[in-house]
A and B are shown apart, each in its own frame.
Chain A
Amino acid sequence: MAVQRNMDPKKTPMPVQDPMVRNHNFEEVALGYTYEMAVNEAKRCLHCPKKPCVSACPVAIDIPAFIERVANEDMEGAYEILTASSALPAVCGRVCPQENQCEGKCVRGIKGEPVGIGRLERFVADYHREHSAQTPKMPVSNGHKVAVIGAGPSGLTAAGDLAKMGYKVTVYEALHLAGGVLVYGIPEFRLPKAIVQQEIDNLKAIGVDIETNMVIGKVLTVDELFEMGNDAVYVASGAGLPRFMNIPGESLKGVYSANEYLTRVNLMKAYREGSKTPIKKSKNVAVVGGGNVAMDAARCAKRLGAENVYIVYRRSMEELPARKEEVEHAQEEGIIFKLLNNPVEILGDADGMVCGMKCVEMELGEPDASGRRRPIVKEGSEFVLDVDTVIMSIGTSPNPLIRSTTPGLDTNKHGCIITNGDDGLTTREGVYAGGDAVTGAATVILAMGAGKHAAKAIDEYIKGKQK
């Protein structure tokens, strides 16, 4: 069916909660397209024969094909195309850094704004969830068992794919809830936990077992997982170990790692009225770092009632690694960006409470190994930022629990598991790994992509062994 193309240079705007209302609540910020908006936006796609957008999507979703279904109001058809490549479209539509991926290569972006691929993906997934009564079908068993370590996006994706191929999959999760960063890190206002829960329920419906409270390396080792009859193990334990700056004052009361702050808020529900989880009531908060994690921590602090929340980042806006949309949302909500600033010391009062943060101003010099311009300290620029809480958000690395208890599993100097590339095979036979545990902190979609590749490789490995 021929569709009337929409030549508006701008994306159909996303309805959002008013910034000054939403910075006091934990409800979702972006409200999602209506049916009409989605169809209207879908008509902006030019169906380019070379599909540059697809090449920039880590899981190669057939973007023009799914968008065409939306334009033709075939939402189920669109959903099928999405789920052929992505296990969690409702999640990726919300949290993918689209501007660097699919939308960054969209032809419509050359003269105007790119097609709102992420927004359409989200719409289709949400529409399916709300309108489809289909219950997932139980696959036929092939008699083989696979164990997955970690119930984040990577582990869940691998588990889903393997279960669909007929494997009996058990996912072992250290925390009391499945979901990984999707539940303990990314806040409710960006990714409602009910959506993650439903994806997990769908996996359970196709026979995936999820065992929480199971710290692998402690309760069971990888060797024991093999002894229990698993033919292969997929390690997707993420990169949760927080880094600190090693500056004076980091042990003062009121200094958090972003993980601790976000875990208290999200996993332990400190954001709810009457929660049993303690969290500091802060007035002035500095969040050190410029990634998604930093934005989330800052926006949580604001929502918990802080008056002034600063993002302290040592480079400029251009280098800020967070998703563009989150930076804009944070700015609208009144987060103050102190760019080209770097902390050198956290100051404490007699009680050991944070009472300020000493910073220096930075300038950008020559590009360094990463290609980004290296920040250099401006002489004599020292000043004290008046804060009572500091949240360190300068990166994480994989925790040592698995590498220290699994003989034959090699890791690099950052503690990341070494694999032979795409299929995730580690230095140990039958053990595959992917997601943040291999790459260090990265993105949801890359973690999912790794899960998909590993599931395929594991299937080939197990089938190969039978011959």
Chain B
Amino acid sequence: MFNIIKKEALNPTVTRMVIAAPLIAKKAEPGQFIIVRAKEDSERIPLTIADYDREAGTVTIIFQIVGAGTMELNTLQEGECVHDFVGPLGRASETEGLKKVAVVGGGVGCAIAYPVAKKLHEQGCEVHTIVGFRNQDLVILEDDFQAVSDKMVMMTDDGSHGEKGLVTQALERLISEGNQYDEVIAIGPLVMMKFVCKVTEKYGIKTIVSMNPIMIDGTGMCGGCRLTVGGETKFACVDGPDFDGHLVDFDEAMHRGTMYRDFEQHAREESCNLLNMEVK
């Protein structure tokens, strides 16, 4: 059983959990993910390994409560257990040989971007981070990023924290100021990654994105996570989740992501009703 050692709310919709999973902690690398099932009959939810502690044998996950599955996961408290916790899945991010990198995170994507930034920092790479949120209330991991960045830019859509504007604006500015990046790593909503790639394409900078399509097994068995990358079909769970952003068909990925919108809407309303009933 996988004990929840620690649970805290990072903002009203984002939760961090530290989970005891010694075997996974031993192997985990930035860029990899786990699949969690909160309870016996829950959905399988893929979440990035946001941090790990090999000695303590723990794995940290950070998740946004977006639907029925994550809502259910969030009902579990410290001291309780998640039913299933499997990983580390996917390929680790490639960081070798990088000297100067811009890490661009958007929203909860920052949770996915943080471990890579940390690893790059630890191996002596110069790290510039640009993180973007809709507003101040949604900001997460600010201090964590600060600690692993040589330069950090905070952006919010409404200017309530840091600068007002989009991460792409900040990235363009840093590039035009003469920063020469070996690579840009962009992790966030699909639209954000798409536009970051548009910017870097212009400057010819290699760009890695982390793709989070709908997944079931995470072992290459269902094909549900397939994407078109450079004209070829790839399975995000075994071939990714990191891909060359300039080759990814983002429009297709955006379409596929909305496959179950109606069903999810319904499931979410039901869960909310259940939660409301419990509250009453």
Q: Out of B85, B227, B233, B258, which one reaches A213, CB within 8 Å? A: B85
Residues from 215 to 257 in B contacting A, C-beta threshold 8 Å:
216-224, 226-228, 233, 235, 238, 249, 252, 255-256
Q: Out of B218, B223, B249, which one reaches A257, CB within 8 Å? A: B223
Contact B233 A244 (CB under 8 A): yes
List of B residues within 8 angstroms of A264 by Cβ: 216
- B41 beta carbon closer than 8 Å to chain A: yes
* A174-B219, A257-B224, A400-B238 known; A212 vs B264 contact (CB < 8 Å): no
> Which of B37, B219, B227, B233 has the most C-beta atoms of chain A within 10 angstroms of its own C-beta?
B219
Q: A258 to nearest B CB, angstroms?
A: 9
Q: Out of B83, B217, B222, B227, which one reaches A174, CB within 8 Å? A: B217
Contact A400 B256 (CB under 8 A): no
Residues from 80 to 112 in B contacting A, C-beta threshold 8 Å:
83-89
Residues from 145 to 203 in A contacting B, C-beta threshold 8 Å:
174-176, 184
Assembled-state Cα–Cα distance A240/B252 (Å): 24
Interface string of A216-235 (1 = CB under 8 A from B): 00111000000000000000
Q: Out of A215, A252, A263, which one reaches B222, CB within 8 Å? A: A263
Interface size on B, residues (CB 8 A): 42
Q: Out of B23, B221, B256, B258, which one reaches A242, CB within 8 Å? A: B221
Contact A215 B86 (CB under 8 A): yes
* A218-B27, A219-B24, A253-B255 known; A399 vs B263 contact (CB < 8 Å): no
Closest to A220 in B: B23
Contact A269 B41 (CB under 8 A): yes
Contact A213 B84 (CB under 8 A): yes
Contact B42 A276 (CB under 8 A): yes
List of B residues within 8 angstroms of A268 by Cβ: 43-44, 216
Interface SS of chain A: loop
List of A residues within 8 angstroms of B256 by Cβ: 251, 253, 352
Interface string of B11-39 (1 = CB under 8 A from A): 00000000000011001000000000100
Contact A400 B220 (CB under 8 A): yes
Assembled-state Cα–Cα distance A312/B92 (Å): 40
Contact B216 A251 (CB under 8 A): no
List of B residues within 8 angstroms of A279 by Cβ: 263
* A215-B219, A219-B27, A257-B223 known; A276 vs B84 contact (CB < 8 Å): no
Interface SS of chain B: mixed
Q: Out of A175, A218, A254, A259, which one reaches B223, CB within 8 Å? A: A259
Contact B221 A241 (CB under 8 A): yes
Interface size on A, residues (CB 8 A): 39
- A209 beta carbon closer than 8 Å to chain B: no
Closest to B252 in A: A251
List of A residues within 8 angstroms of B43 by Cβ: 268, 276-277
Contact B23 A260 (CB under 8 A): no
List of A residues within 8 angstroms of B249 by Cβ: 251
Q: B266 to nearest A CB, angstroms?
A: 9
List of A residues within 8 angstroms of B88 by Cβ: 218-219
List of B residues within 8 angstroms of A184 by Cβ: 221
- A401 beta carbon closer than 8 Å to chain B: yes
> Which of B24, B224, B258 has the most C-beta atoms of chain A within 10 angstroms of its own C-beta?
B224
Contact B86 A213 (CB under 8 A): yes
- B208 beta carbon closer than 8 Å to chain A: no
- A246 beta carbon closer than 8 Å to chain B: yes
Assembled-state Cα–Cα distance A411/B217 (Å): 23
Closest to A214 in B: B86
Assembled-state Cα–Cα distance A257/B226 (Å): 10
List of A residues within 8 angstroms of B66 by Cβ: none
* A213-B86, A219-B27, A220-B23 known; A276 vs B219 contact (CB < 8 Å): no
A241-B235, A257-B222 given; name 16 further pairs at CB < 8 Å: A174-B217, A213-B85, A215-B86, A218-B88, A251-B227, A251-B256, A253-B255, A253-B258, A259-B221, A260-B223, A260-B224, A276-B42, A278-B267, A352-B258, A399-B221, A401-B220
Q: List 18 A-B contacts (CB under 8 A).
A: A176-B37, A213-B86, A215-B86, A218-B88, A240-B219, A240-B220, A242-B223, A244-B233, A253-B256, A259-B221, A263-B222, A268-B43, A268-B216, A276-B42, A278-B264, A278-B267, A352-B255, A399-B238
Closest 3 CB pairs of A and B: A352-B255, A240-B221, A257-B223
| A interface list, Cβ under 8 A from B | 174-176, 184, 212-215, 218-220, 240-242, 244, 246, 250-254, 256-257, 259-260, 263-264, 268-269, 276-280, 351-352, 399-401
